[in-house]
Amino acid sequence: MVSLDRSEAVVELGKRLVTQLKVDSHDILSSWMAHHIAKLIDNVEKSSGESEAIEECSQAILSLWEHRAALPEHSRPLGQLEPIMRTLSALGVNQEEYHFYRPALREAAIADVDDATKEWLDLAIGLDYSARLLIRYALRSAAEKTASESESWVKLAREAGANEGADCRVVRFILDSDEEENEEKDIQAALEEKLTKLEGFVALANELVGNLKAELEAIKA
């Protein structure tokens, strides 16, 4: 049973869902759901806090929220995040394992080799980390505006005790600060580590660019 403390947030979530469903006024299912939820909310407001009306309304709203991915595209809360979600899932930037060439990098991390080789292997592992940083930065930059606009949905869903789902986690991933990611680390040390790894990435990229240009010039000659 939904507690009275949460019921107001649930009703507010329901009102926003009704507004969202009315965006696509030509969709019969959306119009029907909007009318149904609006009627249940009206019953709650007229019942002066009757528990049965609150429970029926809350369950309908929370169920609709949980199945929001099945709603028509133009009526879907947080639907604008779906391209970001697909990209984030495909790239797997939140995983703790190595992203690129996983078996090779796993072996490289424990390899017993000479110092010069070990230095190159460590650089390869560092590049994997740097690539993930750059991917996260690109995704956050691409979705920052959308995530900011969606933040109110996430906050309201949390207050209502609703099932947040993957789209809400994406919003938090985009908007959360590095301090939260490194809550058990010294923030300055974490930033310095990122900077060092990225500088190494840039240096090696520039070296490779130089080599490729030299090869191209040799071919042209």
Identify which of 125, 127, 140 has the alpha carbon closest to the alpha carbon of residue 94. Answer: 140
Closest CA relative to residue 9, chosen from 169, 139, 154: 154
Q: If you average pLDDT over residues 214-219, what whole number do you get?
A: 94
On average, the pLDDT of the chain sits at: 77
Indicate yes or no: pTM above 0.85: no
Distance, CA of 183 to CA of 36 (rounded, Å): 44
Q: What is the pLDDT of residue 41?
A: 94
CB 156 within 8 A of CB 12: yes
Same domain, yes or no: 127 and 204: yes
Q: pLDDT category, 100, cuts 50, 70, 90?
A: very low
Q: Are residues 63 and 104 in the same domain?
A: no
For the residues 92-118, what does the mean pLDDT come to? 57
Judgement on whether residues 141 and 197 belong to the same structural domain of the protein: yes
Amino acid at 84: I
User: Cα(125)–Cα(106) distance, rounded to whole angstroms?
Assistant: 9
On whether both 62 and 147 belong to a single domain, the answer is: no
**Strongest mean pLDDT among 27-41, 62-76, 86-100:** 27-41
Q: How many domains does the chain have?
A: 2
pLDDT at 94 > cutoff 70: no
pLDDT at res. 57: 92
**Shared domain check, 199 and 109:** yes
The torsion angles phi and psi of 199, rounded to 5 degrees, stand at: -65, -40
Q: Is the pLDDT of residue 19 over 70?
A: yes
pLDDT of residue 50 exceeding 90:
no
Query: Which structural domain, as residue segments, surrounds residue 19?
Result: 4-75
Of the three residues 43, 75, 107, the one that is the final residue of a domain is: 75
Q: Higher model confidence: residue 214 or residue 84?
A: 214
What is the average pLDDT across 55-68? 91
The DSSP annotation for 40-75 comes to HHHHHHHTTS-HHHHHHHHHHHHHHHHTGGGS-GGG
Output 75 or 65, whichever has higher pLDDT: 65
- What pLDDT band is residue 56 in, cutting at 50, 70 and 90? very high
Shared domain for 104 and 178, answered yes or no, is yes
Say which DSSP state 98 is in.
Answer: -
